[in-house]
Amino acid sequence: MSKFIFVTGGVLSSLGKGVTSASIGAILEGMGYRITLQKLDPYLNVDPGTMSPYQHGEVFVTEDGAETDLDLGHYERFTEAVMTKDNNITAGKVYFNVIARERKGDYLGATVQVIPHITEEIKELIRKVKEDKDVVIVEVGGTVGDIESLPFLEAVRQLSLELGRGNSMFIHVTYVPYIKTAGELKTKPTQHSVKELRAIGIQPDAIICRADRPLPRGIKAKIALFSNVEESCVISAPDLDYIYDLPNKFKEEGLDRIIADKLNLEYRNSNLGRWKKIVNILKNADQSVKVGVIGKYTELRDAYKSISEALIHGGIANNLKVEIIWKSSEGVDISEIRELDAILIPGGFGERGIKGKMEALRVGREEEIPTFGICLGMQMMAVEFARNVIGLKEANSTEFDPHTPYPVIDLMEDQKKVSNLGGTMRLGAYPCVLKEGTKARKIYGKSLIHERHRHRYEFNNSFREVFESNGIVFSGLSPDGKLVEIMELDNHPWYIGCQFHPEFKSKPFAPHPLFASFIKAAALRKGIS
């Protein structure tokens, strides 16, 4: 039977509950246990696919094509767990299912209510994810005290009772602010949030305290006393230079023992050797490259979480630090672009900032700066190339100009029929065949790859020939040859665009080959070898 860890949050959001849950997964894997993770999100969107990255950060796409919360990205980067559509449950999805059942008459005349119908549905969706795992880590989104998260907290409370003693535990993540004027760490917000949790019937087994510094013994003792937890179960989680150091810190604080004890699991010394190695590389790399990410949502770093992590992984692969320079695609300054060691144009939707992206691409192409276009980035590479190299001045994507005479990026027939916006893109993993003798083929070291997609528009095949005769190589195609997946420039050190999102598959221990090679090219440009 699987055991469950329920992770709740208190005081405020953005405490890194996702990374915390992922790190708990990492230490359990280090102990040799098979784990998976699940995120419960209290909002009413059925999935975050229709939400702006400004509101919610990046939409993480799973292998099976679900558009999910960005925390699932942390889960995959920190652990071996494979995320699917079942690993992210939103209140919207829960209500959608319950209302669909009610319409079918499944409730046999009952009055349909939050308790028990919504809570039963939540429990069913949680149970569904366990498969053959030893431990399931369930992160409850939101903050304790929010009206929205109540049904989720009630459902996990019931579930823990049903699972029986020793089969589940609660870990509460809170914030302990340092008040400068008093020169003190304050425990009151934590006390209150635990009180709130206990009022709804949940007694935490351990408390993870986020703070800008380590918690001294006295503070831990105070939190333990007021929260009714053992002092050894108050864990200090100070700000870290590298998030990949968190599993190490948790082990130092004894979290592996606490979990084994509370879940009645055999204690095994958690082997975190690979995490230590990663942190050592990050700490000791003495050279760095500057990569400019030119996008629309650069004010909110979370909007490009997987990209920034994948760039760091590319650095790990080359023993280099990667300095990411975020540049808004509105108002791109060419002289600043020239100072970069490499340029990355990420995916996106909508016309804002398109001109700036194309300007940066032109400079990257003409001045032989390593340039990486991802999804919309690749599409803009095609438009820029059509306009400035082939001479089709009015070339465009029909996303931005439906009447362009040169629709180099266009919808395929099946997408033209779609009217709903939610969940209707080309989503999830698709195969791609790499052409012999190309850069992409060499970078991947194999001919068949699978990469994740999230887009509606594609390269328009009627323009393939003219692109090829002008120096573009279509190095990755769908197995039937109908879809362009990768394009590269022949006479350029590194100018590659891909229609998919490679960033979703990069891990610190397995940096994505395209990112590793991109960072290597940046280093070469800078003269580091």
Contacts with ligand GLN, residue ranges (CB under 6 A): 347-349, 375-376, 399, 454-457
Task: CB nearer to ligand GLN: give 198 or 456.
Answer: 456
> What is the distance between the alpha carbons of residues 463 and 370, in angstroms, rounded to a whole number?
24
Q: Are strands 135-140 and 206-211 parallel, antiparallel or unpaired?
A: unpaired
C-beta closer to ligand GLN: residue 144 or 375: 375
CA dist list (Å): 319 to 283, 312, 505: 10, 10, 20
Q: Which residues of 14-33 are buried (b: 16+ CB within 10 A; e: fewer)?
A: ebbbbbbbbbbbbbbbbbeb
Q: Is 53 exposed, middle or buried (0-12, 13-18, 19+ CB in 10 A)?
A: buried
Angle at 48 between CA 168 and CA 120, to 5 degrees: 40
- Determine the 3-state secondary structure of 455 from DSSP: strand
Nearer to ligand GLN, 142 or 377 (CB): 377
Find the catalytic residue in 76, 384, 451, 503. Answer: 503
Strands (E) in 223-299, as ranges, are 234-238, 288-295
**Both tokens assigned to 112:** 């349909």
Please state the closest distance from residue 370 (CB atom) to ligand GLN, in A.
20
446 exposure class (CB count in 10 Å sphere: 0-12, 13-18, 19+): exposed
CB closer to ligand GLN, 375 vs 522 = 375
What is the closest distance, in whole angstroms, from the C-beta atom of residue 514 to ligand GLN in the complex?
A: 15
To the nearest whole angstrom, how small is the minimum distance from the Cβ of residue 458 to ligand GLN?
Answer: 7
Question: What does residue 320 show for φ and ψ, rounded to 5 degrees?
Answer: -130, 150
CB of 375 to ligand GLN, least distance (A): 3
Within a 10 A sphere around the Cβ of 63, how many other Cβ atoms?
17
C-beta of 206 vs 376, nearer to ligand GLN: 376
Q: Both ends of the chain: CA-CA distance in Å?
A: 52
Q: Which of 56, 455, 501, 512 is catalytic?
A: 501
Radius of gyration of the chain (CA): 25
* Residue nearest ligand GLN by beta-carbon distance: 347
| Other Cβ atoms within 10 Å of 529 Cβ, number | 6
Q: Torsion angle of alpha carbons 297, 299, 301, 307, nearest 10°?
A: 40
Closest CB to ligand GLN among residues 93, 452: 452
Q: Is 503 one of the catalytic residues?
A: yes
Nearer to ligand GLN, 375 or 381 (CB): 375
> In this complex, which beta carbon is closest to ligand GLN, that of residue 261 or of residue 399?
399
Q: Which of 167, 185, 207 is nearest to 8 (CA)?
A: 207
Only one residue has tokens 């300054």, namely 333
Smallest gap, in angstroms, from Cβ of residue 250 to ligand GLN? 34
Non-local (6+) Cβ contacts of 190 within 8 A are 10, 11, 174, 175, 176, 207, 209, 223, 226, 227
The residue (of 257 and 456) whose beta carbon lies closer to ligand GLN is: 456
Minimum distance from residue 275 beta carbon to ligand GLN (Å): 31
CB of 302 to ligand GLN, least distance (A): 16
Helix axes 255-262, 17-30, angle to 10 degrees: 80
- Residue 376 CB, nearest approach to ligand GLN (Å): 3
> Is 313 designated active site?
no
Binning the chain into helix, strand and coil, the percentages to the nearest 5 are 40, 20, 35
Catalytic residue among 209, 375, 432, 498: 375
Q: How far is the CB of 407 from ligand GLN (least distance, A)?
A: 13
Is 121 annotated in the active site?
A: no
Q: Give the span between the Cα atoms of 304 and 466, in whole angstroms.
A: 33
Q: Which residues are catalytic?
A: 375, 501, 503
